[in-house]
Amino acid sequence: MGRWIAIGRAPGWNDPVKFGEELRETNMWRPDPQTTVTTVLALGDGRLVAECHTAKQEVFEAWLRQKGWQVESLTPITHLAKTGSIWKVT
């Protein structure tokens, strides 16, 4: 399963209420049964970072468009370290 990171902006998401409305429900994180947006971070400069696990990048791209993101970059993740464990993704 591939992983991607998107960096961009979405109108109104700097407001915690709007951010919550967009992401509160589990179905907001699951565009399809094989895709999960695992993390969305709101940065202090107004940008957003989202991580997605999916077999098809196009599904993540469609989710970003549906949410109104203006994507600056969409990049596959090749490997990662998380709390001391290291995984090769691709």
The one-digit pLDDT tens for each residue of the chain (90 residues) are: 899 999 999 999 988 899 889 888 888 899 899 999 999 999 999 999 999 999 999 999 999 999 999 999 999 999 888 787 776 776
Rounded Cα distance between 37 and 21, Å, is 15
- How many folded domains does the chain comprise? 1
Calculate the alpha carbon distances from 58 to 6, 24, 30, 62, 64 in Å. Answer: 12, 23, 14, 6, 10
- Domain holding 28, by residue range, is 2-88
CA angle 22, 83, 89 (to 5 degrees): 75
Does pTM surpass 0.85? yes
The CATH number assigned to the domain holding 61 equals: 3.30.70
34 contact partners, CB below 8 Å, separation of at least 6: 1, 54, 55, 56, 59
